[in-house]
Amino acid sequence: MHRTKVKVVEDALDANHTIANANRADFDRAGVTVVNFMSAPGAGKTTLLERTLTGLEGVRAGVLEGDVQGSMDADRLAALHVPVTQINTDPSFGGECHLDANMVRSALPEIVLDDLDLLVIENVGNLVCPAEFKVGEDARVMVTSITEGEDKPLKYPLMFRTCELVLVNKIDLLPHLEYDLDRLLTNLDAVHPGVPRMLVSARTGEGIEPWREWLVAKASRAGVPA
């Protein structure tokens, strides 16, 4: 039974990969840089985007919002006049715990790619499956909040290993926690040596500027041959 299960999963990941490539081709054609933005529930993805997306010099940014149910995060971002498209992952059971390439593909007709330079795909809050499913992104960024503890890179290694930037959020709470930031960074380097990391506070705005600059630089490289 277990062997069958692994085969089913492998087939699903293969099919996903094919659709992710089709998404990627569409994004490339339109010159849109796509960031797959991931974290555990409540790590602060939406607040980080609220802090960032309105002040991106010369970059037209949009968001594709993934949630099991509802559109609360999408509504928050739409209030800032950022174009937002919502995907809900709950067709008939408890809901999917991640976005896959096909869900993103099914949302593409609603997104005017030619009007965008940057599309941030805010994934479902989860540290496991979102890392397994490519959606056609150029880059993966993940957020770890210091309130989650220093051990998370070791417990969810694929997520921390497959991203190219880690935002360490809620650092304004450092004085109120027994949090060992050095231990987090050591754990991070153990699973993904040298991965770029930024210490940020979505609440106070501390450290937000480098993250904004990172997004602008990413978006500016779209269409430029590597």
Interface residues with its own copies (CB under 8 A)? 1-2, 6, 8-10, 13, 40-42, 67-70, 72, 91-97, 102, 124-129, 131-132, 145, 147-149, 151-152, 154-158, 170, 173, 176-177
Distance CA 93, CA 194 (A): 40
Phi, psi (deg, nearest 5) at residue 199: -90, 120
Least Cβ distance, residue 131 to its own copies (angstroms): 6
Distance CA 173, CA 63 (A): 28
Which residue, 117 or 148, has its beta carbon nearer to its own copies? 148
Least Cβ distance, residue 221 to its own copies (angstroms): 28
Least Cβ distance, residue 124 to its own copies (angstroms): 7
β-strand partners of 63: 84, 120
Question: Which is it for strands 33-39 and 139-145: parallel, antiparallel or unpaired?
Answer: parallel
Which residue, 30 or 43, has its beta carbon nearer to its own copies? 43
Which residue, 33 or 123, has its beta carbon nearer to its own copies? 123
Least Cβ distance, residue 176 to its own copies (angstroms): 5
